[in-house]
Structure 1
Amino acid sequence: MGVPNPTSNLNIDIRHLKTISALAEQGSLAGAALSLSLTQSALSHQLKELETRLNLELYLRKSRPLVLTAAGQQLLALARQVLPALAQTEKQLQALHSGDAGRLHLALDCHSCIQWLLPLLPDFRRQWPGVDLEVESVPGFDTIGALLGGQLDLLLISDVHTRGDLHFEPLFSFELTLVMAPDSRLCHKTKIEPIDLLQEVLLVYPVERARMDVFSRFLQPAGVEPARCKTVDNTSVMLQMAAAGLGVAALPRWASDEFVRQGLLEARPLGQGIRRHMYGAVRAADKDQACLQSLFERIRTKMGASQTSV
């Protein structure tokens, strides 16, 4: 066969992609025909028709097992891109039609994330009515292990674990600030230094210090210990205690914005600024699921607009 006519209308169909994929998988015309529920004669006719249209041979005749030509390999590469995407889309559309789009068990590895997440969920649930959505706030178990084991489907987290079976979707960045009562002695400062907390009661969540940025990235590098730490397991209570002058707290800016706007709290950056990034951790195989990507986009839109620098 000669050089293809550049003006010819190729019209490659899905059936052609399925055929070339079956040929590669089965290694013979007979095996491919069986897997496609076609007669070998019908499959040969279909291939001949496509080769005529392309003006190219797609496989080497009399090869055992069957060997694809360069043109056949190129068509196979397209098939391996298109067919899985098509199958996934068909599955999602069928799920929407049946009202059963599966389960989304979401966990937060962040105490104050529930504050911005919950307002997003009504619109998300209207868009995905068939998703069985379950939200768990700061679960007391190994969240990464649960994600890998299938007990969780999505984890909102600010730490990345480098491993190929997980995907960490970047969502938004945020700043950690120290919040205090408006009459605190620290309000005159434009930024907080570690030594400023020597005489302060630091309000903290009930997690190990290694997971708290105020310790790992601010106090411990300077060798500073606050006067006392008081454990509080609820962000709202923590904010009210800080507003009452019962301690200070290191929180993401979004957690205290409303209190600061009302004049109930003051907020100051820690040192030169401590910025973190929020990620959506999912199993690598699930990262392109439409409902997950829809939720990620909602989070980025809301939190990107609410953060001063992303």
Structure 2
Amino acid sequence: MYRYSNHEKNELILCKSLAKLIMNIALHHFRLVDTISREGSLTKAAASLHLTQSALSHQLKELEKELDIEVFHRQGKKLQLTEVGYRFLRSSEKILAEIRTLEEDINNYKNGKTGKLNISMQCYTAYHWLPGVIKDFKSQWPDININIVSDASRRPLEYLMRGDLDLGIVRTQMVNTQIVYEPIFEDRLICILPADHPLAKKAVIDICDFQDQELILALYDPSYQETPIIETLIQEQHVKPKTLSRIHYTDATIEMVNAGLGISVMADWIVKPYLPGKHIVTKPLHHSIAKRTWYAATCRDTPVIQNFLTCLKNHFCKTEMLCNEFDNLETYQELRAG
């Protein structure tokens, strides 16, 4: 018959005890063994744990009673781990280290330092400025994983409602939903014309100026069903362009204008990257139709979302100042030229 060694007997006893006590051992028991082992006495351990010595002694007796075996040898005022105690300590160190990591991860998440963010925009053309915002954001919160959900550009509000999107940058709103909208910037609609077009001589373009014109409107997403604001205004004011074309791509629209095939209306920030080298001029629209508001749409509030919103607002605040400086410079140059 096989005889167990003393070491094997102790291991078996410990395994049986641990199996019995998995649901009974509390976190403070692991801290207790870890601290007493490190400090070497109940007095020092009690001070470290901000407990009275009697309270700590009671907890130790409670643990040993549950385990049905000694964890420490008493040698006067000193305590020394038993073999079972050493085994318990090894588990304590692993568990406490994992708990500390867990607490740190939770605090980082609560403070917006870690996590993920699924974002999208209602307009594909808008993605040219988004990387700059993400770069600024990542410089401050490098451990946030940002995922651009390009498919959500077609139906960002639906994706938000389903929970597949954390933040959408949109220009339309749904009523009676749980979505919260926060204005982040306004874009200015401008008219783009061939440089030799008769309307290029006007200072400001109004809706009535589109009468009998060859009008080309860019639909930034083929699947997007929203009627462009200019088309709506034309219908409301009974203005009839000579032709009305709808093109699904910004660059194609601009090339058609550049070729003298018509005029168009776009947001200024969309147009500017395409203008160098083109035979095109831009003219402001009448103030009553010149602006559109874009919103950050969310269904929930987290530190990560709020931090990204702050970056968005800062970006557009800087952009607006630069645009104003650019506009002032253009005006100054025009005055000098005149």
How is 1:1-310 mapped onto 2 (pairs within 5 angstroms)?
A: 90-92=107-109, 96=113, 101-137=114-150, 139=152, 141-163=154-176, 165-197=178-210, 198-205=212-219, 206=222, 210-216=226-232, 218-259=233-274, 264-274=279-289, 275-286=291-302, 289-308=305-324
Q: Percent identity?
A: 21
- Cα distance change of structure 1 residues 160 and 305 upon mapping to structure 2, 3 Å threshold: farther
Relative to total residues, which structure has the larger helix share, 1 or 2?
2
Q: Per the alignment, in what secondary structure is the counterpart of residue 165 of structure 1?
A: coil
- Whether the aligned pair in 2 keeps the contact of 1:242 and 1:248 (CA below 8 Å) is yes
Could you tell me how far apart the structure 2 residues matched to 1:285 and 1:172 are? 20
Q: Deviations over 1:48-89 (max 9, x none)?
A: xxxxxxxxxxxxxxxxxxxxxxxxxxxxxxxxxxxxxxx999
The total of aligned residue pairs comes to 220
Q: Per the alignment, in what secondary structure is the counterpart of residue 198 of structure 2?
A: coil
- Cα distance change of structure 1 residues 92 and 102 upon mapping to structure 2, 3 Å threshold: closer
Runs of 4+, deviation exceeding 6 Å: none
Q: Residue type of the partner of 1:214? A: I
Could you tell me how far apart the structure 1 residues matched to 2:110 and 2:226 are? 44
Q: Residue type of the partner of 1:144? A: L
Q: Residue type of the partner of 2:261? A: L
- Whether the aligned pair in 2 keeps the contact of 1:109 and 1:138 (CA below 8 Å) is no
Cα RMSD, aligned residues only: 3.4
| Alpha-carbon distance, 1:136 to partner | 4.1
- Cα distance change of structure 1 residues 159 and 180 upon mapping to structure 2, 3 Å threshold: same
| Alpha-carbon distance, 1:155 to partner | 0.9
| Alpha-carbon distance, 1:146 to partner | 0.9
- Whether the aligned pair in 2 keeps the contact of 1:109 and 1:137 (CA below 8 Å) is no
- Whether the aligned pair in 1 keeps the contact of 2:192 and 2:281 (CA below 8 Å) is yes
Show the counterpart of 1:52: none
- Whether the aligned pair in 2 keeps the contact of 1:168 and 1:280 (CA below 8 Å) is yes
Q: Residue type of the partner of 2:297? A: A
Could you tell me how far apart the structure 2 residues matched to 1:133 and 1:110 are? 18
| Alpha-carbon distance, 1:162 to partner | 3.8
TM-score (ref. length: structure 2):
0.55
TM-score (ref. length: structure 1):
0.60
- Cα distance change of structure 1 residues 284 and 261 upon mapping to structure 2, 3 Å threshold: same
Could you tell me how far apart the structure 2 residues matched to 1:207 and 1:192 are? 29
Could you tell me how far apart the structure 2 residues matched to 1:207 and 1:250 are? 20
Moved more, 176-185 or 163-172: 163-172
Q: Deviations over 1:237-264 (max 9, x none)?
A: 3223322323322111112235557664
Q: Per the alignment, in what secondary structure is the counterpart of residue 245 of structure 1?
A: coil
Which segments of 5 or more consecutive residues in structure 1 lack a partner in the other structure? 1-41, 43-86
Show the counterpart of 2:24: none
